[in-house]
Amino acid sequence: MDFTGAGASILGNLYYDGSFKYYANGFGAQLAFNNSTGGVAIYAAPSNSGGAGALATPALIFNLHQTGALQLPTYTTAGVLTNDASGNVTTTVGVTDSGASCTIIAITKGVITEASCAK
């Protein structure tokens, strides 16, 4: 755990000494609390096979703002979520609409199956 600066983090198979590094082989994870914005974010680092001390690059999975807004990163996996250059959701499973703000209405087995989007 790291409770320094403007936030705190809980790390899984990771440590930070000026850069993120793995404790051992396997995946890494970070739960970050941002005291400056009041947000909470989850990051994941890909599976490591380079052993202890290998450089890790955690990527944002999602960010929950203090306002309750959930920020998802840009997805490019076909049929899941796709964002345009402005960050607007353009493809969502079960949704034929697009816009700057989409509300998830239903998730089935981890897949968004219904949503509505504001223009």
pLDDT tens-digit readout, 25-83? 999 999 998 876 778 889 999 999 999 999 999 988 888 878 777 776 654 444 455 56
Same-domain check for residues 59 and 28: yes
Same-domain check for residues 60 and 78: no
For the chain, give the mean pLDDT: 75
Q: Which long-range contacts (CB under 8 A, 24 or more apart) does 8-14 make?
A: 8/32, 8/33, 8/35, 9/33, 13/45, 13/48, 14/45, 14/56, 14/58
Same-domain check for residues 56 and 15: yes
Q: Which carries the bigger pLDDT value, residue 112 or residue 62?
A: 62
Structure tokens, 103: 């509300």
**How far is it, in rounded angstroms, from Cα 62 to Cα 104?**
15
Burial class from Cβ neighbours inside 10 Å (0-12, 13-18, 19+) for residue 24 reads: exposed
In which domain, by residue range, is 109 found? Answer: 74-118
Domain count, the chain: 2
Q: Give me the mean pLDDT over the 9-28 stretch.
A: 95
Length of the chain: 119
Look at the pTM and tell me if it is higher than 0.75: no
Q: Is 23 contained in some domain?
A: yes
Same-domain check for residues 50 and 95: no
Q: Is 2 contained in some domain?
A: no
Structure tokens, 104: 């998830």
Q: Give me the mean pLDDT over the 3-16 stretch.
A: 82
Of all residues in the chain, what percent carry a pLDDT higher than 70? Answer: 52
